[in-house]
């Protein structure tokens, strides 16, 4: 880490916090990467030999995993076998200096290793322990393994994704892992703040399934209010219309004008004032009931001109709108670039990879990547010297 990056790290909100990172693959590593982005020191403890499972997951950049590179910036690496007495001694010395331990093993694994919450809390009372798992540390599913797809299906998330009549559809990103990782960041920071008041660390128990249920937005509330089971409805909003994707002469774009006053403005802007006088579209509730008829009427008009024409008019009228983009297009968008939402990481051989940045740091102009993703065990000697160990 150069002098500029060290100065940046000291200015960040989690500067001075040390995290021992026992995580692998996605949910745990995204949590610790965000903590690292925010200034915490992340010491990634990996199994000797292969390391984090993500190191073997493609695609690969010059022989190294792009998947791993995208989730492990701003971290150090040391390889330790937690069944080996000498390595356990090193691990425990790390814990004695750490503020946080983050792990995403199946519940019960840490207890078998002798590092369950009760044992650790007795030895290291100020240590915060964040545990990320498929189903949490309690409950009948406690010991079951889970991946993103499992919790997306079980939670009901897949049941509200896609189009009516289609097969069950996974959300296009690993929202099961990402949601858990984000909640783990929130829980970890809350536990650190509680420690300021109490002087005691606590266990943060994050379940991937719990997080998916929490992310069901108003689907559960709508079920409770109406007794109806929500299902997939495509790209439109369940309680606000028009709030959907539309096709212009040359491509797709979005109109989000569900409020009554905004709908009237939309009709005037599009030159279809008769629609706001139609009883079927008089209120948001009526527009939701007759969403198909309204979309057809709007779509007929929108096909007459290119989307740049309509987007220009809608923006001038203060109506929320935006282009539909592919991933290839959004990574070149001037707004994204101006906010520094893309970062460059390098593998151990110097090959560069573009990855997503951190929205909490966007717009600040500070470098997101202060330390490149580590090779396995790359920081062993320096860490051992700090610990005064052989």
Helices (H), the chain: 3-11, 27-37, 66-69, 85-97, 109-112, 117-123, 148-155, 175-198, 208-214, 219-226, 260-270, 284-289, 291-302, 307-316, 327-330, 334-338, 380-387
What does DSSP assign to residue 229?
A: P
What does DSSP assign to residue 79?
A: E
Q: Which position among 237, 309, 325, 340 bears the catalytic label?
A: 237
CA distance 56 to 325: 30
Active site residue 10: no
The rounded radius of gyration (Å) of the Cα atoms in the chain is 25
Cross-strand partners of 323: 253
How many other C-beta atoms lie within 10 A of the C-beta of residue 390? 7
Say how many CA atoms lie within 13 Å of 177 toward its Cβ.
Answer: 19
What does DSSP assign to residue 258?
A: -
Pull the structure tokens for residue 260.
Answer: 């009554």
Indicate the SS3 state at residue 137.
coil
* Nearest by Cα to 40 from 145, 107, 128, 168: 128
For residues 308, 312, 314, 319, the Cα torsion angle rounded to the nearest 10 degrees is: 110
Q: Is the peptide bond before 242 cis (omega within 30 degrees of 0)?
A: yes
How open is the CA angle 368-173-100, to the nearest 5 degrees? 50
Pull the structure tokens for residue 211.
Answer: 């997080």
CA distance 206 to 133: 6
The set of catalytic residues is 237
């Amino acid at each position: 880490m150069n002098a500029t990056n060290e100065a940046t790290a000291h200015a960040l909100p989690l500067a001075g916090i040390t995290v021992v990172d026992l995580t692998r693959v996605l949910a745990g590593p995204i949590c610790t990467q965000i903590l690292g982005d925010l200034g915490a020191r992340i010491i990634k403890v990996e199994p000797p030999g292969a390391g984090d499972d993500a190191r073997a997951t493609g695609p690969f950049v010059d022989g190294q995993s792009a998947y791993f590179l995208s989730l492990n910036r701003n971290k150090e690496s040391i390889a330790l076998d937690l069944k080996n007495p000498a390595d356990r001694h090193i691990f425990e010395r790390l814990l004695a200096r750490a503020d946080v331990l983050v792990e995403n093993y199946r519940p019960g694994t840490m207890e078998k290793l002798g590092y369950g919450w009760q044992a650790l809390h007795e030895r290291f009372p100020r240590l915060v322990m964040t545990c990320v798992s498929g189903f949490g540390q309690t409950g009948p599913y406690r010991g079951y393994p889970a991946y993103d797809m499992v919790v997306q299906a079980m939670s009901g998330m897949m049941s509200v994704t896609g189009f009516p009549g289609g097969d069950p559809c996974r959300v296009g990103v690993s929202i099961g892992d990402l949601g858990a990782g984000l909640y783990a960041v929130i829980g970890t920071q809350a536990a650190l703040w509680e420690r300021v008041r109490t002087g005691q660390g606590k266990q943060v128990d994050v379940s991937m399934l719990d997080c998916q249920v929490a992310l069901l937005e108003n689907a559960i509330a709508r079920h409770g209010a109406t007794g109806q089971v929500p299902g997939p409805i495509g790209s439109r909003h369940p309680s606000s219309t028009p709030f959907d994707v539309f096709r212009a002469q040359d491509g797709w774009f979005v109109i989000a004008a569900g409020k009554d006053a905004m709908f009237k403005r939309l009709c005037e802007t599009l030159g279809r004032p008769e629609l706001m006088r139609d009883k079927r579209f008089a209120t948001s509730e009526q527009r939701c009931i007759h969403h198909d008829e309204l979309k057809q009427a709007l779509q007929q008009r929108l096909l007459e001109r290119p989307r740049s024409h309509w987007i220009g008019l809608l923006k001038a009228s203060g109506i929320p709108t935006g282009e539909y983009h592919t991933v290839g297009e959004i990574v070149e968008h001037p707004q994204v670039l101006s906010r520094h939402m893309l970062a460059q990481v390098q593998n151990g051989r110097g090959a560069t990879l573009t990855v997503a940045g951190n929205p909490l740091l966007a717009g600040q102009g500070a470098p997101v990547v202060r330390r490149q993703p580590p090779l396995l065990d790359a920081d062993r000697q320096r860490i051992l010297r700090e610990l005064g160990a052989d």
